A = this chain, B = another copy of it.
Amino acid sequence: MSGREQIGVVVVGCGTVGGATAQILTLQADKLARRVGVAPALRAIVDVDFTHAKELGLDENLFCTDLDAAIEADDVQIVVELVGGTTVAKAIVERAIAAGKHVVTANKALLAHHGAELLAAARLRETVIAFEASCAGAIPIISALTGELACDRIDAMYGIVNGTCNYILTAMTEHDRTYAEALAVAQAGGLAEADPTLDVTGVDSAHKLTIMADLAFRRRTRFEKIYVEGIDQLEVQDINYGKELGYVVKLLAIARRQETGLSLRVHPAFISTRHPLAWVSGPFNAVSVYGENSGHTMYYGRGAGDRPTAAAVIGDIASVALGNAQRQFQTLNIWPDRREDADQLDIEAVRCRYYLRLQAEDHPGVFARIANILGDNDISISSLLQHEPLTETDESVPVVITTHEAMESNIRAAVDEMNHLDVIKQPCVCIHMVAEHPEQTGTRDWGLGTRLNAE
């Protein structure tokens, strides 16, 4: 495709992102053509309700309720799926592929559950599915993982990929709000859904994690096997103790090579205030990637919102128009439909640092009992925080312990034992901690150690 050739686009689903995409394709088509040498032509906007489309002032001649006709039109080469969900959206994508059309989608749930299958179908029909917008909105993380990073061995990836959670955690951390208060503020500001379950439970982050990890580790990862823990149980006092120790809590999507396999998990985690991810606040997203040669790179930006997400959709349309998306899809051996399953570790086998808070009776010998349990479970203490009781009548005091790296199964066993001690007054609070991932760039270590399967 060269000069000012046109490429026909159908937008299916005219909500927040679909509306912005249609608007950019309408108002900025000429500019786009001047810049990238390809003119995307919006042929139809498919939906069942055009209220939002009308509000945006989109061309009513493009409104269309006949999905099949829109997709199958000869002058359409790209179908943009922005319906969301995993049922109707799946049918739309399958229909588009069957008609030999390229697909651009922002649908992380669809790809997390059916990605490999849909990519395989696209491969058979010699079309492509481009999905930059599915992970972290305007951040070109898919492009990075399929570009320069595809040439490197990725050792670990840590992502803040849910803006709702990050907004809530920022409000809890910086403004001392409880989880419930922060959620209410987020909902009032349009930064959380009326039903925030998918976000706050970590499921949305896990959707994105499986998509990114497939590309980064060149293995097919399974969404169902990802350990997922949300932010809804976090207490402000733990956030404050963490602060005192130099840590900030974030909901992290983590993929990390261990000697025994690949650890994939989503959970709140304390991260050092010196790590760049700790600074990502409000609705912003960021993904830190540790490559064998490239070292630590981080990608930061708006993870959601109409125009930032639409910008990623438009980028994919251009990439398909240029043929780059197709070429990468055909040549790079990083796509999940082409790869074996990853050795995904059970959460019990994960090695991590931990923050523990115990409400313990304040008399001699108590700490020795705690320390013995930790030692017996092969857990080594990194730091300890115990303030004096607030009043003389306080019979128990919070004891905060951070550990060196330990096995999750050992931590769970130790916590269980401690919870059974008569001197422990409340169930132990346990929060994961993330240590700065070591970079190998400064050494002459060529990374001939740990390998994941044949990689």
Q: Residues of A with Cβ closer than 8 Å to B?
A: 1-2, 20, 23-24, 27, 31-32, 34-38, 132, 138-140, 143-144, 147-153, 218, 276, 279-280, 284, 291-302, 305-308, 310-312, 314-315, 317-319, 322-324, 327-328, 330-334, 440-442, 446, 454-455
- Given A31-B455, A297-B300, A298-B301, also A36-B151 (CB < 8 A): yes
Residue from the list B147, B284, B295 in contact with A319, Cβ < 8 A:
B147
- Given A148-B140, A151-B32, A307-B295, also A276-B302 (CB < 8 A): no
Contact partners of A218 in chain B: CB under 8 A = 35
Known: A2-B331, A297-B301. 12 other contacts (CB 8 A): A37-B331, A138-B294, A140-B143, A140-B149, A147-B147, A276-B300, A284-B296, A291-B311, A294-B302, A296-B302, A307-B441, A322-B328
Which residue of B is nearest A310, CB measured?
B293
Contact partners of A2 in chain B: CB under 8 A = 330-331
Complex: A293 Cα to B310 Cα, angstroms: 8
Name, among A291, A292, A319, A324, the residue most crowded by chain B CB atoms within 10 Å (CB to CB): A324
Residue from the list B150, B318, B440 in contact with A150, Cβ < 8 A:
B318
Q: Do B311 and A301 touch across chains, with their CB atoms under 8 A apart? A: no
Q: Do B327 and A331 touch across chains, with their CB atoms under 8 A apart? A: no
Which residue of B is nearest A330, CB measured?
B2
Which residue of B is nearest A273, CB measured?
B279
Q: Do A298 and B297 touch across chains, with their CB atoms under 8 A apart? A: no
Residue from the list B20, B294, B317, B324 in contact with A301, Cβ < 8 A:
B294
Contact partners of A307 in chain B: CB under 8 A = 292-295, 440-441
Q: Do B151 and A311 touch across chains, with their CB atoms under 8 A apart? A: yes
Contact partners of A324 in chain B: CB under 8 A = 324, 327-328
Contact partners of A454 in chain B: CB under 8 A = 34
Q: Do A139 and B297 touch across chains, with their CB atoms under 8 A apart? A: yes
A-B contact pairs, 20 of them (CB 8 A): A2-B331, A20-B293, A31-B153, A34-B454, A35-B332, A36-B151, A36-B332, A138-B293, A148-B312, A151-B315, A151-B317, A152-B311, A152-B314, A293-B307, A296-B301, A298-B301, A300-B300, A305-B442, A307-B441, A324-B324
Contact partners of A300 in chain B: CB under 8 A = 276, 296-300
Closest chain B CB from A455 CB (angstroms): 7
Contact partners of A322 in chain B: CB under 8 A = 327-328, 331-332
Which residue of B is nearest A285, CB measured?
B297
Q: Do B35 and A446 touch across chains, with their CB atoms under 8 A apart? A: no
Q: Do A151 and B334 touch across chains, with their CB atoms under 8 A apart? A: no
Complex: A274 Cα to B411 Cα, angstroms: 36
Residue from the list B36, B147, B292 in contact with A331, Cβ < 8 A:
B36
Complex: A323 Cα to B331 Cα, angstroms: 11
Closest chain B CB from A111 CB (angstroms): 18
Residue from the list B1, B318, B446 in contact with A27, Cβ < 8 A:
B446
Closest chain B CB from A391 CB (angstroms): 37
Complex: A179 Cα to B345 Cα, angstroms: 49
Name, among A147, A292, A328, the residue most crowded by chain B CB atoms within 10 Å (CB to CB): A147
Q: Do A151 and B331 touch across chains, with their CB atoms under 8 A apart? A: no
Contact partners of A333 in chain B: CB under 8 A = 34-37
Contact partners of A323 in chain B: CB under 8 A = 327
Contact partners of A132 in chain B: CB under 8 A = 148
- Given A1-B331, A37-B331, A138-B294, also A314-B151 (CB < 8 A): yes
Closest chain B CB from A145 CB (angstroms): 10
Which residue of B is nearest A292, CB measured?
B307
Closest chain B CB from A220 CB (angstroms): 15
Q: Do A293 and B319 touch across chains, with their CB atoms under 8 A apart? A: no
Closest chain B CB from A137 CB (angstroms): 8
Q: Do B308 and A441 touch across chains, with their CB atoms under 8 A apart? A: yes
